Amino acid sequence: MTAEGSEARWWSLMQRLGLAPSLDMYRELLRLYGEPHRAYHNFEHIAACLRHLDDVRESAEKPDELELAIWFHDAIYKPFSGSNELDSAVLAADFLEENKAGEGTVANVHALIMATVHDASPSPGDSSLMVDIDLSILGARPEVYGVFEQAVRQEYRRVPGPIFRRKRRKLLQQFLDREKIYQHPHFFEKLEVQARRNLAAAIDTLSLQ
């Protein structure tokens, strides 16, 4: 998705949500996703998530609120912060409140972003869709997944190799140990097998380094 195309998409979303065009916020999001320390958590990731949303939009309970949550979910990203998701959720909530969105919309978007903490199984419905979309990279083609791992390492380049490998193996193993990585049938059928292969291969590689 080009920058021009993304602006049109943002404008359309604002209209469907009954909000002002808010192009200042759109430009701020582009600025945030363009920060130089981001190698993976950038606008390319957001664009990929939006493409995945388009594949399952009809399955969503509140697709426009889900789309807005995708736009904001990594807006605040500092590799060594433990509050990125919360900070991003607050940014989205503040934006919605300033634009007189309903309390239900504010709460739902906040909750959807917080689901991407990935510390527990998501609730059924849009939360599961949000998580599956965010984790779609795990089931990418091996060469694409390899680029993803390299990008994550770049974001954490200040971490010494042994420490990074140990913590990365632990995180990937947590996903691999789940009964199901993906909850929605679309993502499960399309990505589950490849995601497990990618995770196992990455863990093996990290163990050999």
Q: How far is CA 201 from the centre of its chain?
A: 22
pLDDT at 152 over 90: yes
Summarize pLDDT for 40-82 with one digit per residue, the tens: 999 999 999 999 999 999 999 999 999 999 999 999 999 999 9
pTM: 0.95
- Please report the DSSP string for 19-80 in residue order: ----HHHHHHHHHHHT-TT-SSSSHHHHHHHHHHHHHHGGG-SSHHHHHHHHHHTTSS--TT
Local confidence band at 107 (pLDDT 50, 70, 90 cut-offs): very high
C-beta of residue 122 within 8 angstroms of C-beta of residue 178: no
Radius of gyration of the chain (CA): 17
Domain ranges of the chain: 1-119, 135-209
C-beta of residue 71 within 8 angstroms of C-beta of residue 10: yes
User: Rounded mean pLDDT of the chain?
Assistant: 95
